[in-house]
Structure 1
Amino acid sequence: MRRRRILLAALLWLLATSLDALSSLLFCKCIVFNATQGVFQTPNFPRPVPKGNCFLFHFAAPPHHTVRLRFDTFELEKRQTRCVDYVRLFEKTVDGEIDDDSPHDGEYCGDEVSSEYALWMTPLQITPNALFVSSGNHLLVHVNVEIGGENRGFRGHFKFVPNDKYEMNAIELSPCEFTANTFRGNLFSPRAPYYYPSSTVYSYHVPPRRGHVTRLRLVFLEFPHGSCDSHFLRISEIKPKRFRDKLCFNSAPPYEILSANGFLIEFYAGDNSEARSRGFQIEYDYFEDSAPLGAHLLGPLDLFDAPSESPMPFLHVWHSLVLLPAILYPSISSDSDSHSGCPVRIISPTSSDATINKTGNLSTWDLFRDQPLPRPSKCQIIFVGSGHERVQVSFLRFNLFSPLGFNSTQRVEGSRTLSGARKWDLRQWAKLEEHMIPFLRLPKNPIKEVLLYFFSENGYGCEERDHLTAHVLVGTRMSRIDDFCADRTPPQLMSSKNLLTVDYVLKPTAPDDEKPFGFFLKYQFRTDLGLSEMYAKRDESKSCQFIFNSTKRSSGNLWSPNHPGLYPRNINCNYIFHGAATQVVAIHFEYFDVEGFQQCEDSTQSDYVLFSNYQTHDRTNRRYCGRSRPSASIVSEHNYFRMMFKSNDIFEATGFYAHYQFITPKSSQTNRVKLTSSDAPAALAWTPFLYLLILLGLL
């Protein structure tokens, strides 16, 4: 009798353990979802899920489709040492069939997939509003409830998406390398919309097209949080190759970048096994560059053609006047309403640790979503860097309200005027006259002190409508950079010291419609003046000194601080070149816009570029300023060469961009260039390379 009892107990135990093992899948209730989209939830949601239940949700999409899930609410028994009540996701099943040995792609319990809990960003959680995505056309969700309790279960949405929405408009040149082949299309991270693979590098070429400007728009980006060193997009121009931007986890739409030189997009991916980020989508297109400068972006009254020597049509050179003190500091009515969120202070972390994020985004839609700014009012945004940091601000979207009758305004002057307004090269007057409105014509013999302020009917400056005013700290005073209004995207700005302010001014007149007016900007706290991508050695003992050594790089590019934006005021930068004993260095400018005129003397308060063959100051050499780049290549006499760039505290411009190359002249060549104060070109025994450079300058 006792033996039978022992055998019976053993059999019952075996049966119980077997049933327990089988109940995970074989005895689960299966629910199939085959509609194109809909809602899924635990039974009787939001009532608690009874214990002892097992469900298998099978999302079966048609072939060539992807399943996307989003949990709106998720509440199961919290994790102890392991999940007892849980949801397991199977994303990579080929035919929609799984068994007890099939590996799952994620296990969740508690409230680990809810938006609130996901902010903690542990490996078992997802970011807010993130999607679960299948790699094929099947996705299975295994729900096991043993404890139940008062937990409500979950509710979410699903959608079947055709895979052709994620087909790139590009040709695969080689493994991991693609080139765009249409006038408009999309580029995706590998395996999109599924999670991209770990430890990989992909390249995407968007080649330049003659007579067209290339535009890139960021549609979607999802990289692991805090992963800027290992997961990022590096965007460069193709011809000539020049770094433009780096997009990390904190980059977000709207983002747009333009160039006539094409783009190379390099995608660097680190370990994505835990974060399971979905990568990016970038939209590209081409538009003709036959319209006046900026007409595609800035509106119909941008009448100036780009300078013929400019290789970068995307640069919008900002020439605005400083007219009167009343315009310099527009007054705000004393009865303006205040806003509890103003002023906005953004202060850089004091630590020098490179892992600390010193980049961020800011938009009026986020700042004033809960409490809109009243009219009239003024809200100041203050950016404060630490130590020797400078503040860099880039506007990714800009569209401020302008009442009817207010049109875009151009302000132009012949050279300096009044208390030192910005210059306009007199050689641009003839070109300007071609685009003037019919009733206004330039004088035949314009003099330096002529001020021309032209506008269309009822047009006024920014001070009479909603606008943005930027100020920087110069010495001990705040100095105004400019006013920006309407849909004219401001240039990239950089502070002279560690302080930059932006005043957002709203006038009494409000828009009639619900169009979302405002701006979206990206800010960075930088110590490199935007010059680190030149790959030159920085002299840390100087505020702005970079050393180019031929043993490191025989050729490369250089540019002004913050290029292609406005360079900061009170800059004194040295670009020093060291070649081998028999080498000289040649510098060829592709773009040049340095505030100044005439011979750039100190009396004209001009910024300038100066070259020297010696370590001491060479007063015999010519200064360069204005908007006319040096037509010929600048070549050193010896293997040492120094280029100096100096700006004062009055105005700023968009600076310069140049190529350099170390070359070895023929042994018979003894007459090398000597830069003089004369406008005539110096004598030079030309090498074939120098002939090539001068031909490039003439094209």
Structure 2
Amino acid sequence: MFETDGVPVQDTWCDYMFGDGHRVTHGRLYSPRYPSTYPTNVRCNYHFHAGQHERIKLIFEEAFLQKGDESCLNRADIIKVFDGRTPSAPVLAMLCNELVGYEILSTGPDLLVQFTANSNEPGQGFKANFQFQSDDYNTSTASTVEILDSEVNKKSGPDSTLGLGPAVSAATSSCHQAVNSDKGRTGKLLSPSYPEPYPPKTHCHYDFTARGRQRVRLIFEDFALHKIDDNHLDCESMDSLDIFLYVDGRLEKMASYCGSEAPKPIMSNGPKLSIEFRGIYSSKLSRGFKISYFFVEDYGIKSGKQLMEFPCAFVYNSSLAGKGEITSPNYPGLYPRDSECNYFFYGTKVQKVHLHFTYFDIEGVFPCEAVSASDYVQFSHEMVNYKSDRYCGQLKELHVTSEKNFLRVTFKSNDRLDGTGFRAEYKFLRDVDVQLIQTVTASSASKYRYCPTI
């Protein structure tokens, strides 16, 4: 019943091949002995080789490795997904702990899934399904057509496709757009008739699909929806724009926006994001919205050097920059759900790194553990460390000094609530300079919730 649909690789215990000369275009894969506990001290490789003009869609329906919400860097049981044939390819995902409904879309015809189990307490394992898709799959299934901007701007009315950009669906009576990163990495999304008022009874859907390491990022340049009066605070009864994410394999509303206050930037938690616009009333002051969208791989983090061997990781070396700043993903907007980002600091032998957090808003309650469904930031002077303290909540300021010349900062969010993240200034300092900073911060420590040296 639980048999992997690939071809076993000769002289291996649990490696499988999918595709190449074996034209299986869809199927299932499992960890060894699933649904029973998988063995320890194993490494299984699942090789996917689609056709020249095909991509691979992979969905982990369930993965139960180890309980808790530890960083995947601290886990001995882990699933890595590489965007290519070998482990030298960019890493699309590092999966650990427990998850449901996690989707991955390759950028090309090859994908490698590597399952490593080295813990003393192995879990149930995983089950997943895959599908080989043609390059034009998203376009054909969305029934999209190309519409020139000059033609778009001639249209009007609630059923028009006005202002929708390069890929607009003609499949529904209401405006609808399916945007995928194959057509371009950036673009504009305009409400019907923008900047003129949108027609009453407008109902629009916008579906975004990214590939590989990409996330969808939305930046609101203009936002003015009809507001009934100041007594109506619920967006459900007014013209509104709703953001939907895929959580545990299901479409779930992340937020609703109405009125005239522009939302902060939004980032998807995976390859897909959807928008629903309901313009029930409209008025002469209802310009609608103008949104810039981006398919990004850097999570909106503009400092450091991004590493390809992790889904979201950045390195800061004192030989390249003695000081700078780091931010959470998508800062100053809401950070994405179900995400882990690591920041690695490397100084010389006589240096330490000092971090001064000038903004800190991480959803959760101290001690920031899984039982309270808390997101967290964690600091460690070793690459793997299970015992470091976690930090969450809203802090006025936070000072952190490394114990050695290396510091790892881990940000981890779950699929529940959202925060606006953090901003911190970093400096690489000699011991004498570190002692001076610690003296200053200790003298005013009553202002801070935390002031650790790790």
TM interval, short-chain normalised:
0.5 to 0.7
Map of 2:436 onto structure 1: 688
Aligned runs of 1:325-404 on 2, under 5 Å? 340=173, 342-349=175-182, 358-366=185-193, 373-375=199-201, 377-403=202-228
Identify the residue that residue 413 of structure 1 maps to in structure 2.
none
C-alpha contact (below 8 Å) 1:610/1:622 kept by paired residues: yes
Counterpart check, 1:648 vs 2:414: yes
Matched, 1:634 2:400: yes
- Relative CO higher for 1 or 2, CA cutoff 8 Å, sep ≥ 6? 2
Q: What are the within-5 Å matches in structure 2 for residues 535-554 of structure 1?
A: 536-554=304-322
Q: Which secondary structure state, in structure 1, belongs to the residue aligned with residue 251 of structure 2?
A: strand
How far, CA to CA, are the matches of 2:206 and 2:195 in structure 1?
Answer: 13
Contact 1:548 1:576 in 2 (8 A): yes
**Are residues 400 and 694 of structure 1, via their aligned partners in 2, closer, same or farther at CA, if it must alter by over 3 Å?**
farther
3-state SS of the aligned residue for 2:236? helix
Shift of 1:566: 0.6
Once the two structures are TM-superposed, the CA of residue 642 in structure 1 deviates from its matched residue by 0.8
TM-score, normalised to structure 1's length? Answer: 0.37
What displacement does 1:478 show? 1.6
Residues 588 and 693 of structure 1 are in contact (CA less than 8 Å); yes or no, is this contact kept in structure 2? no
Provide the residue aligned with 2:245 in structure 1.
472
Q: Is the 8 A contact 1:339 1:373 kept in 2?
A: no
TM-superposition CA deviations, 1:635-683 (whole Å, max 9, x none) = 11111111111000111111000011111104xx9xxxxxxxxxxxxxx
Q: 2:382 aligns with which of 614, 618, 622?
A: 614
Structure 1 residues 656 and 695, CA gap change in structure 2 (3 angstroms): farther
Instruction: Write the mapping of 1:74-473 to structure 2, written as runs, cut at 5 A.
Output: 340=173, 342-349=175-182, 358-366=185-193, 373-375=199-201, 377-403=202-228, 406-407=229-230, 458-473=231-246
Letter in 2 for 1:649: D
The structure with the larger Rg is 1
3-state DSSP of counterpart to 1:529: coil
The alpha-carbon distance between structure 1 residues 497 and 372, as it changes in their structure 2 partners (threshold 3 A), is same
Equivalent in the alignment of 1:483: 256
Distance in 2 between residues matched to 1:606 and 1:552, nearest whole Å: 34
Structure 1 residues 628, 402: closer, same or farther in 2, change over 3 A? Answer: same
Structure 1 unmatched ranges of 5 or more: 1-337, 351-356, 408-457, 670-685
Structure 1 Cα separation of the partners of residues 397 and 282 of structure 2: 48
Partner of 1:567: helix, strand, or coil?
A: coil
Task: Tell me what 1:499 maps to.
Answer: 272
Partner of 2:287: 517
Contact 2:242 2:256 (C-alpha < 8 Å) held by counterparts = yes
Q: For residue 526 of structure 1, what is the amino acid of its counterpart?
A: V
Q: Is contact 1:348-1:386 (8 Å) kept?
A: yes
Kept in 1, the 8 Å contact 2:198–2:287? The answer is no
- The AA in structure 1 aligned to 2:242 is T
Q: Matched residue pairs, number?
A: 277
SS in 2 for 1:687: helix
Q: Can you give the 5+ residue segments of structure 2 that lack an aligned partner in the other structure?
A: 1-170, 449-454
Shift of 1:476: 1.3
Q: 1:624 aligns with which of 391, 397, 405?
A: 391
After TM superposition, which residue ranges in structure 1, 4 or more long, deviate above 3 angstroms? Answer: 338-341, 365-369, 371-374, 689-699
Question: Distance in 1 between the 2:198 and 2:337 partners?
Answer: 34
Output the aligned Cα RMSD.
2.6
Q: How far does residue 483 in structure 1 lie from its aligned partner after superposition?
A: 0.6
Question: Hey, what's the Cα distance between the residues in 2 that align with 1:617 and 1:650?
Answer: 25
The CA deviation string for residues 39-94 of structure 1, in whole angstroms up to 9 with x for no partner, is xxxxxxxxxxxxxxxxxxxxxxxxxxxxxxxxxxxxxxxxxxxxxxxxxxxxxxxx
Instruction: Report which of the two has the higher share of strand.
Output: 2
| Number of the residue aligned with 1:604 | 372
Identity of aligned residues (%): 32
Residue in 1 that maps onto 2:39: none
The CA distance in 2 between the partners of 1:539 and 1:510, in whole Å, is 47
SS of the residue aligned with 1:463?
helix
**Alpha-carbon contact 2:208-2:274 (below 8 Å) kept:** yes
